[in-house]
Amino acid sequence: MQNTVKHTLLQKVMHFFLTKMVVGIGVIVSLIALIEWLRSFLLDKTNLPGDLKELIVAVAEACIATAGYIFLFKTYDKRQIHELSAAKFANNLVIGFPLGIILQALVIFVIFLGGTFLVANVNPVSSLISPFAFAMTAGFVAEIILIGIVFRLLEQQTGTVIALIIFIVLFAILHVNAKGATLVSVGATAMQAGFMLPAAYVLSRNLWLPIFMHFGWDLAEPGIFGGINPSSSLTQGLLTSHIAGNSLITGGENGPQDSLTSLLLCLCTGIIFFVLAKRSNHLIKPNWQATAGNKGIGKSAAL
């Protein structure tokens, strides 16, 4: 009897949502660390070009993060991992990747209209390799951890609306002391990572859409348009550009993604995603309101 009680208690602890978060993050981070170790142990000793090494590592990290997530939660939850369904990969690649680039292009277009975006040089297409690798890692690893693990598990407990509010506040707090942080830059980050991308997941009910939106967004800013990305040390992309002018429009020292245009654009996009998700009955009720049999998603994913 005592062993049964202990076994039941252990099961409850292991399946508590915070425990799942810690285990999930730990597994993904450990797998990424393994790839980085293999890079230093094997890849860095070869004569391959640096950008090709970065691309190999990015592909490996994207694959191992995806496979690790699927294996972990398929085993942990004893369920099919619908949020990374292969059947929805292509549709969300076609939608999400261009959408991320288009959103970033609109931010740059507003800067251009102000006459402060100048292209100094067009570089070879090979200049896209390093930005592509950076964006792939950011898109896959970040969204699998932040949305696939943290947001998904939080949403199951608190419901969609509260989870989104927590994420917005969390990202604002995490970036309030960042270098050169302003009210606009903090708000822009909170709208991008804390609202728009989680809302994309809520709408599609799979991780591919936010992954590829993030991928396209991070590729476009430094890789295509030559803007500053505070998370990247990239110095060259497809375009060598000069961006100057009012920091509200340009984003200042942290680049276009921290501009007022970016804040408003990501806010509007997130609202559209949320409204569509609500109409599709994709919102989840808080755990304390949901009753057996009606908690969760009312309809299958639309994308």
pLDDT band at 298 (very low <50, low <70, confident <90, very high): very low
The answer to whether residue 106 scores a pLDDT higher than 50 is yes
Residue of 265, 135, 143 lying closest to 204 (CA atoms): 143
What does the DSSP 8-state code read for residue 87?
G
pLDDT band at 11 (very low <50, low <70, confident <90, very high): confident
What pLDDT sits at residue 83? 96
Lowest mean pLDDT among 45-59, 76-90, 234-248, 250-264: 234-248
pLDDT band at 302 (very low <50, low <70, confident <90, very high): very low
The backbone region for 243, taken as left when phi is positive above 0, alpha when psi lies in -120 to 50, beta otherwise, is beta
What pLDDT sits at residue 283? 95
What pLDDT sits at residue 300? 39
What pLDDT sits at residue 299? 43
pLDDT tens, residue by residue, 110-141: 999 887 888 888 889 988 999 999 999 999 99
The mean pLDDT of the chain is: 89
Side-chain-side CA neighbours of residue 160 (13 Å): 21
What pLDDT sits at residue 16? 84
Residue of 273, 268, 243 lying closest to 96 (CA atoms): 273
Lowest mean pLDDT among 56-60, 229-233, 282-286: 229-233
Give the CA-trace dihedral at 57, 218, 100, 241, to 10 degrees.
-130
The answer to whether residue 294 scores a pLDDT higher than 70 is no
The answer to whether residue 5 scores a pLDDT higher than 70 is no
Q: CB–CB of 273/147 below 8 Å?
A: no
pLDDT tens, residue by residue, 160-208: 999 999 999 999 999 888 887 899 999 999 999 999 999 999 999 999 9
Alpha helices in 78-207 (DSSP H): 89-113, 129-137, 143, 152-158, 160-175, 183-191, 197-204
Q: Mean pLDDT throughout 226-241? A: 77
Taking the model in full, what pTM does it have?
A: 0.91
Q: Quick count: other Cβ atoms within 10 Å of Cβ 44?
A: 12
Q: Mean pLDDT throughout 46-59? A: 92
